[in-house]
């Protein structure tokens, strides 16, 4: 699946359906990491999307969340809110763990989508880009991460296709998102969208809802405004305080995976 999946367009005689409640489920991108506010905290694409559709926002996102967390910890609150629309963004944290399980991801996402459909919600799922074009790695590690993202996308495709009527779930394909690979779309860590990137996500999702027959009275502007300016000092502080410790943690977790990949590469040659 390499294109955005849309619900069938509604007849021109029907008024667009309003979105009164929007639910956002997922990881740190849903939290808004990469789009800092001047007074502290994060804004992020769910807030920008909320403003465009004019809805109340229920954001259950948690930093570090994996797909199983979305199903087991976040989904109950979303279902209870009975949102007209929902966004699901998770899976990248799974690719960075030694117990990466594409089949489990597919089962968990399928359960999330079925539950959202069951309360009349129209979910949009984010399908991932080739992150190795953004996050630079040595060749063999780049190949390993690319393979995992491909497996993640296959799991997402399977979950979407296995939940019933075509078009019941929207898919925002980040690989095809205009501007998604631009450097300005990414924060200093190259793992999270910048303010510009969050705006691209919000605009792409809003377009999917509009095409599916929902009212989107507002506009997501791509010009940055209202966020905190990220300076060279902020970037340096991130490397010391966040970046290096993160690499150490992931190195411990992925060490066996990296070693296996190196050995497999030697055997192939």
User: What does the pLDDT read at residue 84?
Assistant: 98
- Residue 97: the pLDDT is 87
Tell me, what's the pLDDT at 243?
Answer: 44
206 Cβ partners below 8 Å, 6+ apart? 49, 52, 53, 216, 220
Nearest-angstrom CA–CA distance, 8 and 159: 19
Report pLDDT for 73: 98
Distances (CA, A) of 210 to 119, 145, 213, 214: 20, 34, 5, 5
- Each residue's pLDDT, cut to its tens digit, for the chain (269 residues) gives 434 444 444 445 589 999 999 999 999 999 999 999 988 899 999 999 999 999 999 999 999 999 999 999 999 999 999 999 999 999 999 998 889 999 999 999 999 999 999 999 999 999 999 988 887 766 777 788 889 999 999 999 999 999 877 789 999 999 999 999 998 998 887 788 999 999 999 999 999 999 999 999 999 999 998 876 665 445 444 444 454 454 445 455 555 554 455 444 444 33
The crossing angle, in degrees rounded to 10, of helices 45-53 and 195-211 is: 40
What's the confidence (pLDDT) of residue 253? 56
Write the DSSP string, 152-217: HHHHHHHHHHTTSSTTSSEEEEGGGSTTTTSGGGB-TTSSSB-HHHHHHHHHHHHHHHHHTTB---
Task: List residues bridging with 24 in a β-sheet.
Answer: 59, 87
pLDDT for the residue 11:
43
Q: Which of 106, 101, 111, 100 is nearest to 158 (CA)?
A: 106
Adjacent-strand bridge partners of 58: 23
Sign of the dihedral defined by the CA atoms of residues 171, 73, 227, 183, in that order: negative
Question: Using an 8 Å Cβ cutoff, are 53 and 212 in contact?
Answer: no
User: Residue 242: its pLDDT value, please?
Assistant: 53
């Amino acid at each position: 699946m390499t294109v955005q999946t849309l619900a069938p367009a509604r007849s021109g005689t029907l008024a667009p359906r309003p979105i009164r409640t929007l639910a956002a489920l997922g990881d740190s991108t849903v939290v808004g990491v990469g789009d800092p506010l001047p007074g502290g905290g994060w804004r992020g694409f769910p807030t920008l999307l909320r403003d465009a559709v004019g809805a109340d926002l229920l954001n259950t996102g948690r930093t570090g969340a994996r797909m199983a967390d979305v199903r087991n910890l976040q989904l109950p609150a979303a279902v209870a809110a009975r949102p007209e629309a929902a966004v699901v963004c998770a899976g990248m944290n799974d690719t960075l763990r030694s117990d990466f399980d594409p089949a489990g991801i597919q089962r968990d996402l399928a359960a999330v989508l079925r539950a959202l459909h069951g309360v009349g919600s129209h979910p949009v799922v984010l399908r991932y880009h080739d992150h190795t074009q953004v996050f630079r790695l040595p060749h063999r590690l780049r190949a390993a991460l690319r393979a995992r993202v491909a497996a993640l996308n296959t799991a997402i495709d399977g979950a979407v296709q296995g939940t019933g009527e075509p078009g019941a779930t929207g898919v925002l394909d980040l690989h095809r998102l205009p501007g998604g690979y631009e450097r300005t779309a990414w924060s200093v860590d190259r793992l999270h969208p910048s303010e510009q990137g969050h705006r691209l996500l919000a605009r792409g999702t809003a377009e999917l809802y509009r095409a599916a027959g929902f009212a989107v009275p507002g506009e997501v502007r791509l010009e940055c405004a209202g966020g905190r300016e990220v300076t060279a000092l902020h970037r340096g502080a991130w490397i010391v305080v966040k970046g290096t410790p993160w690499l150490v943690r992931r190195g411990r977790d992925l060490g066996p995976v990296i070693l296996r990949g190196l050995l497999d590469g030697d055997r192939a040659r």
